Every structure is written in structure tokens, then in C-alpha cells.
Structure 1
Amino acid sequence: MSLTQQDIDFIKSNMAVWLAEQSLGKPPAVYEIELRERMVRVEEELKHQRELMRQGFEQMDKRFEAMQVNMDKRFEQVERRFEQIDKRFEQVDKRFDEMIRRHDRHFLWLIAFITTVGGLVIAAGKLW
């Protein structure tokens, strides 16, 4: 069942009277004043809710900014720590290079000593 334009016009013209009858017999003018007062209160409450929401969003923005600053500081600390670790690795590399150089030098001295002793033993063996 669909409403015709005539039905809609009838409902519009009688709506205020029906609502007034439901409002404990108050005349339509009084009921209209009450509706307007309620609408004003609802609008004021909506305005207040908007303000609260705006304040909440501002606080969230501030908190996100603070978190961003904290994260930036934390990343800087981590970066400094990695730089320190890199320096330590470089120091360890230098120590290993120095140890290898010393080891090579000792090895050469050992080879020279063994060759010299071997040559002396062979020379002594030929002389006897």
C-alpha cells in the first residue's frame, strides 16, 4: 500500500494536532513552544559534544606529536648505539690485523731460524 499525495497532505495538515493530543491535552501552541525549547537544548548539547570532540582530537594530536618526538629520540639513540658498535668492530678489526701482522712476522723469524739452524747443522756435518 502506497501513500498518495492527498494522503501525505492530510497527514501534514493534521500532524501538529495529533501530536498536541498526545501531549496530555496541551494546545498546539504550547506543544510547539516545548518542541522548540527541546530543539534548542538538543542543539546546545550537540554544540557541547562537538566542542568535547574537538578538544579530544586536539589532545590526541598533541599525544601523537609527543610520541613522534619520543620515537625520533629513540631512533637517534639507536643510531648512536650502532655507530658505537661500528667503532668497536673497527677496533677489533685493527687488533686482528695487528695480530696477523705479528703472527706473520713471528712465522718469518721461525722459518729464518729453522733455515739457519738447518744450514749450520748441514755445514757442521760436512766439516766433520
Structure 2
Amino acid sequence: MALAQEDIAVIQDLIAKALSERPELGVANVRYELELRERIVRVEEELKHQRALMLEGFKQMEKRFEQIEKRFEQVDKRFEQIEKRFEQVDKRFELLTARIDRFMIWSFATTLTVGGLVVAAIRFLP
């Protein structure tokens, strides 16, 4: 709903007439605008301050991420060391199981031999 040029002119005349009859409205309006400008300036300053705080926070987060990355590298090195130790233990275990296998074979063979000798001795000796 657009206003006609005549309506706009009438509204402007009414505003001018109201301001001329009551000059305190014009002064109040100026005061209001000054207060608004002061508030805007304060808000802008606070936004600058907030931006500076955010940038500082981001810098601290970057430093923290770098520290965490270094810790992960240390953990990786530690896991590599542990993996090497497990490999060594695995090799020792393989050697031990091979020895146990050999021992079991020798024990079984020795037991069979001694058992056979005992059975042979019992049969041939009266």
C-alpha cells in the first residue's frame, strides 16, 4: 500500500507543525539519537573486545592442539617400543615352545624306552 505524494506532504507538514509547537520534542529526539549513538559506540567497542578475546582463545586452542599432537607422537613412539617388546617376547615364546616340544619328545621316547626295557627285563628274568 504505497502512499501518494500528497499524503507524504501532509505527513511532513504535520510533523513540522508538531515540532514547531513543541520544541522539547525536537530536543528529546536529539537526546534520544545521542543516547543511541553512545550505545552504538559502546556496543562496537564491546564487539572489538569480544573479537580480541575470541582471537586469543583461538590462539590458545591452537597451542593446545599442538601440545596434544606432540603427546600423540610420544604415545605412538611408546606403542612402537611396546610392539618391539612384544615381538621379542613372541620370539622367546617360540623358542621356549620349541624347547618344550623337544623335551616332550625326548621324555616320551625315554619313557617308552625305559618301559620297554622294564617289560623285556620282566619277561626274560625269572
TM bin (shorter chain): 0.5 to 0.7
User: In the alignment, is residue 116 of structure 1 matched against residue 117 of structure 2?
Assistant: no
CA–CA separation in structure 1 for the residues paired with 2:64 and 2:104: 59
Per the alignment, do residues 70 and 38 of structure 1 end up closer, same or farther by CA in structure 2, a change over 3 Å counting? same
Superposed displacement of residue 33, structure 1: 5.8
Instruction: Pick from 93, 96, 99 the counterpart of residue 99 of structure 1.
Output: 96
Please provide the CA RMSD for this pair: 3.5
Superposed displacement of residue 38, structure 1: 4.0
Superposed displacement of residue 109, structure 1: 1.3
Instruction: Pick from 56, 59, 69 the counterpart of residue 72 of structure 1.
Output: 69
CA–CA separation in structure 1 for the residues paired with 2:37 and 2:73: 54
Partner amino acid, structure 2, of 1:4: L
Name the % identity: 35
Which piece of structure 1 moves more, 56-65 or 116-125?
A: 116-125
Which piece of structure 1 moves more, 50-59 or 76-85?
A: 76-85
Partner amino acid, structure 1, of 2:54: F
User: In the alignment, is residue 4 of structure 1 matched against residue 3 of structure 2?
Assistant: yes
Per the alignment, do residues 21 and 41 of structure 1 end up closer, same or farther by CA in structure 2, a change over 3 Å counting? farther
CA–CA separation in structure 2 for the residues paired with 1:76 and 1:123: 70
Trace 1:1-128 onto structure 2 (pairs within 5 A). 4-5=3-4, 6-12=6-12, 14-15=14-15, 18=18, 25-26=23-24, 28=26, 34=31, 37-38=34-35, 40-121=37-118, 123-124=120-121, 127-128=124-125
Per the alignment, do residues 27 and 100 of structure 1 end up closer, same or farther by CA in structure 2, a change over 3 Å counting? closer
The SS at the match of 1:96 is helix
How many residues end up aligned between the 2 structures?
124
The SS at the match of 2:54 is helix
Q: TM-score, normalising length from structure 1? A: 0.64
Partner amino acid, structure 2, of 1:96: F
- What are the Cα deviations for residues 70-117 of structure 1, in whole angstroms up to 9, with x where unaligned? 321332243234334323432332332122112111112112212332
CA–CA separation in structure 2 for the residues paired with 1:19 and 1:56: 46
CA–CA separation in structure 1 for the residues paired with 2:8 and 2:18: 15
